[in-house]
Amino acid sequence: MKILPLSLIATSIAFPAFAHPVTVQSCDREVTFDAPPARAASNDVNLTEMMLVLGLTDRMIGYTGISGWNKLDEDMRAGVSELPELSERYPTREVLIGADLDFWFAGWNYGMRVGGEVTPETLAPFGIAVYELTESCIHIMSRERVAIDDMFNDIRNLGKIFGEDARAEDLIAGWQAELDEIAATLPDSEPLRVFVYDSGEDTPFTSGRFAMPTAMIEAAGGRNIMDDVETSWTRVAWEPVVERNPEVIIIVNYGEVTAEQKKDFMRSNPAFAEIDAVKNDRFVVLEYVEATPGPRNIRAVHALAEAFHGE
C-alpha cells in the first residue's frame, strides 16, 4: 500500500467548520476550549507530526524538544520549515510563557515530568492550555493497557480542539483499514517473542506494558516479552531478557549511538550468544518517531509484520 507523505496527507482533506466550545478528556482531566487555539506548540517529533497531519501549522508558533535528541527527516523538516524550535530539549516554563502560547501538546516524559516546573497546573495561570499524550497518562493514573487506539484518541481529540473533526476521522478510518488488512494476513500461530531495545548497555531501556511498541508488536503478530512490566518506557535487567529468549529484537534508532552499534553490542556480547534473535540475526530497526505514538505507527506495524512473518 502506498504511504503518502505527511505534507500530502495534511492537504488532501477539506477544512470543516468550527464547532466550539468543546470539552476533551486529557488523562484524568477534562479540558474545555471555547475557541480553537491560535498560538499552539507541540513537544517531541511524534506529537508534532500529529499536529502536521491535521494541517495545523498555520495555528502553531513553534515546537519543542526535537533536535536535542532527534534528526528531522525530509518530510518532517519540510513540515516545520516555517516554525521555530522554541527549545531543543524539554522547555522551561519561562520559554513557553515567553512565546505567548495558548496551547501546548505534550505528555508525561514527553516534555513534562511529574512534580516538575512545567505541568498543566503550572501553565494554566498563564493562559496556556495543555493536552496530554494518552500513552503518557500511565505516569499519573491507572490504565488497562496500551493500544493503537490511544494514538487515534489523540488525533480525534486534537481534531475536536482545533475544529478538524472530519479530517481526524478520515485519517483514523484509513489507518484502521490498514490495520485490518494487516490482521487478515497474520498466520494463526503462537506470537513471536519480541524484545524492544531502545538504549543502554549496563541495563537496557525498553518498552513495558504501557508503551506504544507493545501494541504495535501485538498488531503485527508478536508479543513483547516485557509486557508484564507495569509501566511504559523503563529500565530492566539483562537477565530476564536472556531468560525469555526473544526471537526478534526491535532496535529503536535515535541519538548518538546508532542502530548498527546497538546490534554490534548485542552480537559481540557472550552473554547474549544463545538468544534466538542474536543467533539468527533477527533485528528490526524502527526510528524513534515510529516507535512512539504518532502517524507513523501504522507504517511501522506494516514493517514489523513483514519482518516477523515475511519470507
pLDDT in tens, 103-121: 999 999 999 999 999 999 9
Do 99 and 203 belong to one domain?
no
Q: Which helix (H) or strand (E) holds 129?
A: strand 129-132
Residues 146-160 pLDDT 10s: 999 999 999 999 999
Q: Is 140 a domain residue?
A: yes
Has this prediction a pTM greater than 0.75? Answer: yes
Rounded-to-5 percentages of helix, strand, coil across the chain: 40, 20, 40
Q: What is the mean pLDDT of the chain?
A: 93
In a domain, 206, yes or no: yes
pLDDT in tens, 187-231: 999 999 999 999 999 999 999 999 999 999 999 999 999 999 999
Q: Where are the alpha helices (DSSP H) in the chain?
A: 6-11, 45-53, 74-79, 93-98, 120-123, 148-162, 165-185, 212-219, 238-244, 259-268, 276-279, 288-291, 297-309
pLDDT at 171: 97
Final residue of a domain: which of 126, 145, 174?
174
Cβ contacts of 269-275, under 8 Å, gap ≥ 24: 271/238, 271/242, 272/238, 272/242, 274/242, 274/245, 275/241, 275/242, 275/245, 275/246, 275/249
181 inside domain: no
**Does 179 fall in a domain?**
no
Q: Which of 116, 143, 174 finishes a domain?
A: 174
What domain range includes position 232?
A: 187-309
State the total domains in the chain: 2
Q: Over the stretch 239-277, which tens digit does the pLDDT of each residue have? A: 999 999 999 999 999 988 999 999 999 999 999 999 999
Q: Using only the alpha carbons of the chain, give its radius of gyration.
A: 19
Are 235 and 143 contained in the same domain?
no
Q: Above 80 in pLDDT, residue 5?
A: no
Q: What was the pLDDT predicted at 18?
A: 54
CATH number for the domain spanning 293: value is 3.40.50.1980
- Do 154 and 228 sit in the same domain of this protein? no
69 — pLDDT class (breaks 50, 70, 90): confident
What's the average model confidence in pLDDT over 28-49?
97
Mean pLDDT within 281-290: 96
Cα separation, 183 vs 194, whole angstroms: 18
Is residue 1 situated within a structural domain? no
Q: Which amino acid is at 126?
A: F
Instruction: Provide the sign of the torsion angle of the four alpha carbons 197, 199, 201, 206, taken in this order.
Output: negative
Task: Enumerate residues 6+ apart whose C-beta is below 8 A from 133.
Answer: 47, 105, 106, 107, 108, 110, 154, 293
* 241 contacts: CB under 8 Å, gap ≥ 6: 195, 204, 225, 275
Does residue 101 sit within a domain? yes
224 and 285 inside one domain: yes
Mean predicted confidence (pLDDT) in 179-194: 96
List Cα–Cα distances, 141 to 137, 152, 203, 206, in angstroms. Answer: 6, 19, 26, 21
| pLDDT range class, residue 17, cuts 50, 70, 90 | very low
The answer to whether position 161 is within a domain reads yes
Q: Is residue 180 part of a domain?
A: no
- Same domain as 134, residue 209: no
User: In terms of domains, do 48 and 168 share one?
Assistant: yes
My answer on whether 130 and 192 are in the same domain is no
Same domain? 61 vs 158: yes
Query: Rounded to the nearest 5°, which phi and psi values hold at 160?
Result: -65, -45
Beta strand 205-207 with 233-235 is antiparallel
**Residue 76 pLDDT > 90:** no
Same domain for 54 and 156, yes or no, is yes
Asked if residue 45 and residue 151 are part of one domain, the reply reads: yes
Residues 46 and 170 in one domain: yes
Which of residues 147, 174, 201 is at a domain's end?
174
Co-location of 61 and 123 in the same domain: yes
Bridge partners, 196 (sequence order)? 250
- Above 80 in pLDDT, residue 7? no
